[in-house]
Chains A and B, each alone.
Chain A
Amino acid sequence: MSLLVFYLFAAIAVLAALGMVVLRNPVHSALSLALVFVSLAAMYVLLSAPFIAVAQVMIYAGAILILFVFVIMLLSPGTDQGVGALKAQRGLAILFGAALLVLLIAVLGGAVLPPTRGTFTPEAIAAEGDTQAVGALLFTNFLLPFEITSILLLVAIVGVIVLAKKRQSISKQ
């Protein structure tokens, strides 16, 4: 059953990702990407990480992508036309992207995973609650990254205001 669900969502994810890359209209790309995000959330549920799944939907699909959509509407750019200044770019990109995929599959297929396992088995996590388990780690072992995150967000806020306000003052002239 879980294999079936995996293939269903994997197919959706790959097709949607392909659509995001190929579709001309940026809004369609964004919508495809939303689909990828949601199917990845399903993957996380399959991997017994529901909290990450929900966070993925809330932040990626529900916030980040909305921002993308806003910016697309803000700039309302046209669709990509032609190959642009770099003629060989597209062919080479696809060629080397494929080569990278082949290499990655070769590497990962031959990889021997370490047998060492930690203590957070799915059963252990379920007993404690996924959110609680992640939170317990985050607020103790990863306390410093957590606090630094706030500084990162602060910098982002200030940066955005500076960039956006600059634009506004220009447009007033």
Chain B
Amino acid sequence: MPIDYLPILVMVVVVVAFAAIALTLSSLTGPRHPTAAKLEPYESGMPPFGSARRRISIKYYLTAVLFILFDIEIIFFYPWAVLFRQLKLFGLVEMGVFVLILLIGYVYVWRKGGFNWD
């Protein structure tokens, strides 16, 4: 029932308030002496070169994609798990088929070196 979730909303409000206070507090209390060097990005004391917003390795993208696809698998697992006592062998078989098909993809990624970071 929606009423059960009302306390979470209340807590969200409290947490947002807390974060807002903390974030404004930090800019109010501290001293403020900006200099050009201070505001530069930190690169171990060397003058920074180029923007940080440049392209990054595709590996991160690949990892995120795999995460999405397996995350879906998990979200399917949860209702299955809580229902497992009712589904019994039928549940085992249907999820077995589901996972088996996904495992093909998993093995494919493995064989294609999708988990290698070098």
A and B touch in the complex (CB under 8 A): yes
CB within 8 Å of B: which residues of A?
1-2, 5, 42, 45-46, 48, 50-51, 55, 58-59, 62-64, 66-67, 70-71, 73-76, 122, 126, 129, 131-132, 134-136, 138-139, 143, 146-147, 149-151, 153-154, 156-158, 160-161, 164-165, 167-168
**A131: nearest residue on chain B (CB-CB)?**
B79
Q: A48-B2, A67-B61, A164-B61 are in contact. Are A59 and B79 (CB under 8 A)?
A: no
**Distance between B20 CB and nearest chain A CB, rounded to angstroms:** 16
Bound: A164/B61 CA distance, A: 9
User: Total A-B pairs in contact (CB under 8 Å)?
Assistant: 126
**Distance between A49 CB and nearest chain B CB, rounded to angstroms:** 10
Tell whether, in the assembled complex, residue B79 and residue A51 are in contact, meaning their CB atoms are under 8 Å apart.
yes
Tell whether, in the assembled complex, residue A157 and residue B105 are in contact, meaning their CB atoms are under 8 Å apart.
yes
Interchain CB contact (< 8 A) of A70 among B5, B64, B94: B64
**Distance between A55 CB and nearest chain B CB, rounded to angstroms:** 5
B: interface residue count bin: 35 or more
Nearest first, the 3 A-B pairs at minimum CB distance are A135-B79, A157-B105, A150-B101
Complex interface: chain B residues within 8 A of A134 (CB):
79
